[in-house]
Amino acid sequence: MLKKITALTLLLALSACANTDKNDANIASLTNMVDDLSAQVADLKTQQESIAADAQAAKASAKAANERIDNVVASYKK
């Protein structure tokens, strides 16, 4: 009985060591994927901020153009 318990314990210890290497490889792979996704998210955030700034500039430019047109139309009515 004691021999069986010892053999089973040894077997479990060996199988746990074998799985650790595979688990470490999986964790490293997943860590790399997370790092890649984080970099992509940062790039997308930068792009979004740039697009928002461009849209704000376009809005201001359109408002200024509309005001100039309104002033030209007002001068013809006078």
Cα angle vertex 47, ends 43, 53, to 5°? 145
* 78 has pLDDT over 60: no
Residue 30 has pLDDT above 70, yes or no: yes
Residue 13 above 80 pLDDT?
no
* pLDDT value of position 22: 82
What is the Rg, in whole angstroms, of the alpha carbon atoms belonging to the chain?
Answer: 33
Instruction: Indicate whether this model's pTM tops 0.85.
Output: no
Q: What is the pLDDT of residues 40-75, one digit of tens each?
A: 999 999 999 999 999 999 999 999 999 999 888 777
Query: What is the DSSP annotation of 18-76?
Result: HHHHHHHHHHHHHHHHHHHHHHHHHHHHHHHHHHHHHHHHHHHHHHHHHHHHHHHHHHH
